[in-house]
Chains A and B, each alone.
Chain A
Amino acid sequence: MLLSQFLVLAAALFAFGVYGLLVRRNIVLILLSVELMLNAVNINLIAFESVLVSPEAIGHIFAIFVITVAAAEVGIGLAIVLMIFRNRKSANVDDLNLMRW
């Protein structure tokens, strides 16, 4: 196995995440795209760890931290989406133009 095959796969997944982040209108789908990008980063961390084998498995630890922070982010993000939906009756970013000049 080459290292770069994993890196190219992660780059493709990250690019899909960027595309979804820019194209999607629904906030929940934007959060899904962010998860896709974080997942691509995790693939990179694990792939590099399996080449630069460290005695303390630092790549694995970082991937676990990324997963934890992503879980917290989804919890808070969906709570905010719920608040926005209650106040504006919509989960569409195009409708959130209150602070737009």
Chain B
Amino acid sequence: MTFIDWISAPVNWVFTIIGLVVLFSGFRVVTSKNIVHAALFLVGALAGTAALFLMLSAEFVAWVLVLVYIGAVIVLFLFGIMITRAPTGLDEGLSSDQKALPALLASGVFLMMSWASIDAFGGQLIGSVGEPVPTEVIGDSLFGRFVIPFEVVSFVLLAALIGGITLARRDLSPAEEEERSAV
């Protein structure tokens, strides 16, 4: 398949636009000097990813991503940023000064992974475009074959809930404890 064939399919225009949005947002997440902007650019990267999932006929996972990540995780991150009173304006100290070696390593990771992907799946086409996987199938699978992992994951969430409360709770000093019991 030549590049002309590739770009003449309208679905690839959509992919190119969404991909550019995802890449730009991802780049700004790791380079932005404003910590709140970094968290908000992650919203752009995740929304673009959800759009890619819709293109790949994964409707349910796309909306799970929007609800869990954009709805909950980003809010948690913004809370974390505000609670740790990180400088919300421009800050030069958010990143280390040694950028060359990490950039080299990251581009090495990118080149290796993309070379391996293209080498193994170069001409592989995605056939099932536009037929969403029914949520029924995912539900049957989740509560059928994958019911034990599902229970394990729910236990992990319970442990995270209890652990989060225990870690983030502020222990009262003995004087405060006495004051509280007096009331």
Q: Does B106 contact A (CB under 8 A)?
A: yes
- Residue of B15, B45, B99, B107 near A13 (CB, 8 A) is B45
A: number of interface residues (CB 8 Å): 72
Q: Does A96 contact B (CB under 8 A)?
A: no
Residues on the B chain within 8 Å of A49, using CB: 56, 58
Whether the pair A60, B22 counts as a contact (CB closer than 8 A) is: no
Residues on the B chain within 8 Å of A55, using CB: 137
Instruction: Please name the residue on chain B nearest to A50 by beta carbon.
Output: B56
- Residue of A20, A43, A58, A65 near B153 (CB, 8 A) is A65
A81 CA to B57 CA, complexed, in Å: 37
- Residue of B22, B144, B146 near A9 (CB, 8 A) is B22
Contacts of A11-62 to chain B: CB distance below 8 A: 11-20, 22-29, 31-33, 35-36, 39, 42-43, 46-47, 49-51, 53, 55-61
Chain B, interface SS category: helix
Instruction: Please name the residue on chain A nearest to B32 by beta carbon.
Output: A29
A56 to chain B, nearest CB (A): 4
Whether the pair B19, A9 counts as a contact (CB closer than 8 A) is: yes
Known: A13-B22, A60-B138, A65-B153. A39 touches B56 (CB 8 A): no
Known: A46-B58, A51-B124, A74-B77. A82 touches B83 (CB 8 A): yes
Whether the pair B125, A2 counts as a contact (CB closer than 8 A) is: yes
A92 CA to B96 CA, complexed, in Å: 11
Known: A13-B26, A19-B106. A60 touches B58 (CB 8 A): yes
Residues on the A chain within 8 Å of B83, using CB: 82, 85
B60 to chain A, nearest CB (A): 7
Whether the pair B30, A71 counts as a contact (CB closer than 8 A) is: no
Cβ contacts B1-21/A at 8 Å (1 or 0 each): 100001001011001000100
Known: A42-B65, A65-B149. A19 touches B126 (CB 8 A): no
Whether the pair A39, B46 counts as a contact (CB closer than 8 A) is: yes
Whether the pair B23, A20 counts as a contact (CB closer than 8 A) is: no
A27 to chain B, nearest CB (A): 8
Whether the pair A6, B56 counts as a contact (CB closer than 8 A) is: yes
Residues on the A chain within 8 Å of B90, using CB: none
A32 CA to B106 CA, complexed, in Å: 16
Residues on the B chain within 8 Å of A83, using CB: 167-168
Whether the pair A82, B110 counts as a contact (CB closer than 8 A) is: no
A36 to chain B, nearest CB (A): 6
- Residue pairs across A and B with Cβ atoms less than 8 A apart, 5 shown, are A1-B12, A1-B55, A1-B129, A68-B156, A72-B157
User: 7 extra interchain contacts, Cβ-Cβ under 8 A, other than A2-B121, A15-B110, A32-B39?
Assistant: A4-B117, A19-B103, A39-B69, A56-B137, A63-B58, A69-B153, A82-B167
